[in-house]
Amino acid sequence: MNTTDTIAKTMARLEAQLLEWTTWLDQAAERAAEKGHQAKVESQAQLEQLKPKLAAARAKLDEARTAGGHKWETLKDGVEHAWHDLEKAFQKLTH
């Protein structure tokens, strides 16, 4: 498997995870809206903390996709950093 194939598979895996997290966040926001006032406020505050991290991960992934495989190594650290930051935030919220 060449580097281009590896990058494409990595990007596809990251995109799938990003879509899964986005769906989870949307569903959690719907559940939060159904709660009582105090629980709703607390849940929404936690969910709001995830939105910038989700946007940052999306932006890094889009930047890497737009730049193409030849710039992957340059952008890889930024993508991984944004990804780990988002992943930790989701783990904190869900555990």
Mean pLDDT, to the nearest integer, of 56-77? 83
- Please count the structural domains in the chain: 1
Q: Where are the alpha helices (DSSP H) in the chain?
A: 3-33, 37-67, 72-94
| Residue 34: CATH number of its domain | 1.20.120
pTM of the model: 0.73
CA–CA separation, 15 vs 61, rounded Å?
A: 8
Read off the pLDDT of residues 6-62 as tens digits, 9 standing for 90 and up: 888 888 998 999 999 889 888 888 887 777 766 666 777 778 888 888 898 889 888
| Domain range enclosing 31 | 3-94
